[in-house]
Chains A and B, each alone.
Chain A
């Protein structure tokens, strides 16, 4: 198939299994975010795709060609590093033109293309600046323009926006996504920020412990997390311990109508805070005590203790719940909004 295919890729550093049996297909033109906590193997996986690390096993195919043994410089990729890795001895033009210089592109063509790229990242006129003179966002743009200079087949970014402040980061996320859509280039971004992943990606690959936990669209991942790890990592969620007695699912000893679950140990019910509905005491499927109320302006979070567990319900200010700390409260949710996951 056309696109990037990883099959059973592994990377072991001595006794440490950084990446274990990762198989993944990325069709051309897709924007993929690899998401996971630090140490989950996502950066190692990206570096193997780039050829900067040699896989211990498995193969990597690009448009049907096995590139597992192809050295980095022949893989036709563009990469943005976490440190950006701009060359301090070259000015902005020199940095952007580097890949073209390596390929022996003519001066005139190089000049034209650098102008085009600077235009593309909204930095026209900055060509002769030294990279030390640029702001964080400008450096970011130069790094992106540099990676895209020779129209690579793969565009890889390793935590590209982590050095920017929150506001600029969000603006760049949108910009990056728009740029990718315009160019139609296969893009893989490594991030630990799930909001970033949700904003940009066609496909989110959640990794944990060196393995892929789930690879799906952002909505799918959010709505139907494959396991407790994914559910917990993507957004915030309530994980309610589930028991199945005589074919009926129960939590905290109460039956949960409408929840179908096989009779198995270690199952949990993932319910997003915004899906929990508060009810007067005595009503609703479950009953708990209000422990804390947090008013964030856009949402109001109510923390409820049930049988040693703490659940969170999020409501909009329009449906502000009439509860105080210490009150007994009932709570319920639509069965369709709850997902049974295993730990």
Chain B
């Protein structure tokens, strides 16, 4: 690796391509969004370039605060549930025979090919009264009559976890596949049951992976706007749903942009806080 600082333009060549990509796909769109968030909304038409704070002012109300809080809560719940389900799953997956692992990973990848719309409709059918799983429970004698399990918080959470779980497992997989199994065996020789060893060795050793996974799923879930609509009641509509409404149905781009900027900032702040706490603990 070179140690001398780059001197000529040529020395910067290796970072030109990633630099351009970053500018084209992140800096320009995000800067545009920030700029639009300060534009003046012309009701009944579009917007004019300006510098006004109205869009942010409209957002800073108890109503949108509540929606934001729910969106963050939902994203955190999705991340936590995905981890609670995905971590043990991946832990067992990496111990399977290679052929079985490939089969599992392929089927997980195939779930990724499903669009949010398909996932939403599939779950709305699965949780419905007329064609859903409760009919199966009735047939098995577990329930008296079929019931609708949607719309509601549980349905939204289920759909979003289903959507995010393959990502969770694919992110956890490489790290758990590299896990030193002798750590677990060492814990067992010292009197820890497999479950105890899992919690006080495997989990803490994988802490960085866990934090990274939580952040990824959290950010992923924060952007979800179709599943809350399809599977939830209005109370479960996230900020992303309202942003979409403003952008698509109200053509209120400045307000949509302001909400989006706010959402990104809050998400970044939470991610920063999480990594900061993670580092503190690692040092402690």
Contacts and interface: CB of A to CB of B under 8 A. Distances in A.
Grouping DSSP codes into helix (H, G, I), strand (E, B) and loop, the B interface class, with mixed when no group exceeds half, is helix
A150 interface: yes
B180 A89 contact: no
B190 A52 contact: no
A85 interface: yes
Interface in B225-268: none
Contact of A52 (B188, B193, B201): B188
A74 B194 CA distance: 11
A79 B187 CA distance: 10
A146 B185 contact: no
B185 A78 contact: no
A98 B184 CA distance: 12
> Interface extent on B, as a size class?
10 to 19
Nearest to B204: A89
Interface string B205-240: 101000000000000000000000000000000000
Given A87-B205, A89-B205, A89-B207, A99 B190 contact: yes
A73 interface: yes
B192 interface: yes
B186 interface: yes
A255 B190 CA distance: 60
A182 interface: no
B279 interface: no
B97 to A, nearest CB: 12
A85 B185 contact: yes
Q: Which residue, of A72, A76, A79, A82, has the highest number of chain B Cβ atoms within 10 A? A: A72
A81 interface: yes
B196 interface: yes
Contacts of A50: 185, 189
Given A73-B191, A73-B193, A79 B186 contact: yes
20 contacts: A50-B189, A51-B188, A52-B189, A71-B193, A72-B189, A73-B191, A76-B191, A78-B189, A81-B185, A82-B182, A87-B201, A87-B204, A87-B205, A89-B205, A89-B207, A102-B192, A147-B189, A149-B190, A150-B190, A156-B189
Given A72-B189, A87-B205, A99-B190, 16 more contacts: A50-B185, A51-B188, A52-B185, A52-B188, A52-B189, A73-B197, A78-B189, A79-B186, A87-B204, A88-B205, A89-B207, A102-B187, A102-B192, A103-B191, A146-B190, A149-B190
